[in-house]
Amino acid sequence: MKKKHNTIIYLLFISFFLYNTSIIAQNKTSNAINILPPEINSEIYFGMNLADFKNLIGSNLVLESNNVTDFRIVYSQKTKIPEIPIVFYYFDNEQNKPLYEIVINYQNKEQAKKAATLLFGQPNFNQTEWRINIQGFPEAWSWVYKNKLIVAAKIYGSEWFDEWNKE
């Protein structure tokens, strides 16, 4: 009887684990949908490591050799979307090289501001920026600079991590 009881507990544990893993995977995808424009691949998420990112995107990436530094690696991706000619992806240059920033280049500043307002509403930080907090995911910080919509995540060790709480 005890063996049957242990088997049932084991099966319940496995079921619980698989269910929670499925929820986490779904949430990572919904995280990208919530804080990135729909034109960005919904499977991309902050904290994703560089190897997984390359496997997902494929050969449509260019290493920006001018932007490889001791603290970050930058890849660009040209798009076929008229409003967004190019997107830049910033990865921390340590450990598993997590994705921590995405720079979406629009044709002009008005398009970038419109996209930010559609995604985040009115600015909620410093009158021109957005702080986004989705439970269970890294906090994100967004702003428009010229024709660019920048979305950065609070990833430990990345260039923005120490700046996060400064005003």
What pLDDT is recorded for position 67? 65
When the pLDDT of each residue in the chain is averaged and rounded to a whole number, the result is 80
Structural domains in the chain (count): 1
Residue 18 has φ and ψ, to the nearest 5°, of: -65, -40
Residue of higher predicted confidence among 126 and 17: 126
3-state secondary structure of 109: helix
Residue of higher predicted confidence among 21 and 72: 72
| Across 21-25, 82-86, 144-148, least confident range | 21-25
Return d(Cα 87, Cα 102) in angstroms, integer. Answer: 7
Structural domain including 120 reads 2-163
Return d(Cα 122, Cα 27) in angstroms, integer. Answer: 24
Span 102-145, pLDDT tens digits: 999 999 999 999 999 999 999 998 899 999 887 777 789 999 99
